[in-house]
C-alpha cells in the first residue's frame, strides 16, 4: 500500500480544489488568494482567519457557477453512441449482469426508425413477487413499462400524461394488487409540461 494515499491534505491541494472544482463541487475561480488561504486554513485547523480586505457588511457575495454541462451534439442529443440510458439487472450471487437493455426513446427519433436509443431516466424500478419489473423514469417518451425480471423482456407499456420521474409503489385492496405511479414531468426537458398526477393500474392474473 502506498503511504502517500494516507498523507494529510496540504493547503496547496485544497487551493487547487477550490479554484478548479472536482466531481459535483463547482469551481470558485473568483475567490482571491487570501480568501482561498483562509478557507484552506479553516479546513486544516478549524481556525478562522480574518481577512484584511473583508467583504462588505451587507453580506453580499458573488459566486460563479459553471454548471454541469452535458456533452450534446448540435441537435441536442447525447454526443456519444447509444444507448443513452439502460436498465440493468445484477445477479447478486455472481455480481455480474443478468441482462442489460436500452431504456427510453426520443419520440421524434423513434418516428424516423431510430428506436431503443435509451434516454435520460430519473426514478427507480419496483419488482413484484411475481417477477415483474415496473419502471417509468424515462424523460422524453413518458412511458411506463413492465419487464420480465429474469430475462429483461418487455411485457407491457403505456404512455403516461407526464413523464414519471419517480419510483412506483404497490398495494393490495380486496385481494387485488395495484401499481401506482406519480407522473410529474419534472425533469422532462425540451420544454415538456410538468404537473402532478397519480395513476393506478390493476394487475390481472394470467388466465
pLDDT computed for residue 128 by the predictor: 95
pLDDT computed for residue 119 by the predictor: 94
Contacts 24+ apart (CB under 8 A), 93-101: 98/150, 98/152, 99/151, 99/152, 100/152, 101/147, 101/152
Whole-angstrom distance, CA of residue 171 vs CA of residue 62: 49
Check: pTM over 0.85? Answer yes or no.
no
Closest CA to 85 of 111, 113, 112, 123: 123
User: Mean pLDDT, 10 residues at a time, over the chain (207 residues)?
Assistant: 55 87 80 87 77 52 66 91 96 96 95 94 93 94 96 96 92 95 72 80 83
Structural domains for the chain: 7-45 (1.10.760.10), 86-202 (2.40.128.630)
Examine residue 95 and say whether the peptide bond preceding it is cis (omega within 30 degrees of 0). Answer: no
pLDDT computed for residue 204 by the predictor: 85
pLDDT computed for residue 134 by the predictor: 98
Whole-angstrom distance, CA of residue 110 vs CA of residue 176: 35
pLDDT computed for residue 167 by the predictor: 95
- Gyration radius from the chain CA atoms: 24
Going across the sheet that includes 176-183, the strands are: 169-173, 176-183, 197-202
Whole-angstrom distance, CA of residue 42 vs CA of residue 161: 51
Whole-angstrom distance, CA of residue 104 vs CA of residue 87: 9
pLDDT computed for residue 49 by the predictor: 66
Report yes or no: 136 and 146 within 8 Å, Cβ to Cβ: no
| Residue 46 Ramachandran class (φ > 0 left, ψ -120 to 50 alpha, else beta) | left
DSSP string of 129-165?
TTSEEEE--BSSS-EEEEEETTT--EEEEEE-SS---
Amino acid at each position: 500500500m502506498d503511504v502517500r494515499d494516507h498523507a494529510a491534505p496540504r493547503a496547496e491541494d485544497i487551493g487547487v480544489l477550490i479554484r478548479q472544482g472536482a466531481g459535483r463541487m463547482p469551481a470558485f475561480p473568483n475567490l482571491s488568494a487570501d480568501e482561498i488561504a483562509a478557507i484552506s486554513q479553516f479546513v486544516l485547523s478549524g481556525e478562522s482567519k480574518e481577512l484584511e480586505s473583508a467583504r462588505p457588511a451587507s453580506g453580499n457575495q458573488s459566486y460563479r457557477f459553471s454548471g454541469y454541462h452535458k456533452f450534446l451534439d448540435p441537435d441536442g442529443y447525447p454526443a456519444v453512441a447509444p444507448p443513452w440510458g439502460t436498465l440493468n439487472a445484477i445477479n447478486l450471487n455472481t455480481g455480474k449482469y443478468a441482462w442489460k437493455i436500452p431504456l427510453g426513446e426520443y419520440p421524434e427519433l423513434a418516428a424516423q426508425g431510430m428506436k431503443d436509443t435509451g434516454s435520460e431516466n430519473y426514478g427507480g424500478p419496483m419488482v413484484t413477487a411475481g417477477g415483474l419489473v415496473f419502471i417509468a423514469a424515462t424523460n422524453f417518451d413518458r412511458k411506463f413499462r413492465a419487464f420480465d425480471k429474469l430475462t429483461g423482456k418487455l411485457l407491457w407499456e403505456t404512455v403516461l400524461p407526464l413523464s414519471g420521474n419517480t419510483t412506483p409503489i404497490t398495494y393490495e385492496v380486496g385481494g387485488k394488487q395495484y401499481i401506482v405511479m406519480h407522473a410529474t414531468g419534472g425533469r422532462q426537458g425540451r420544454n415538456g409540461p410538468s404537473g402532478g398526477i397519480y395513476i393506478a393500474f390493476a394487475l390481472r392474473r394470467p388466465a
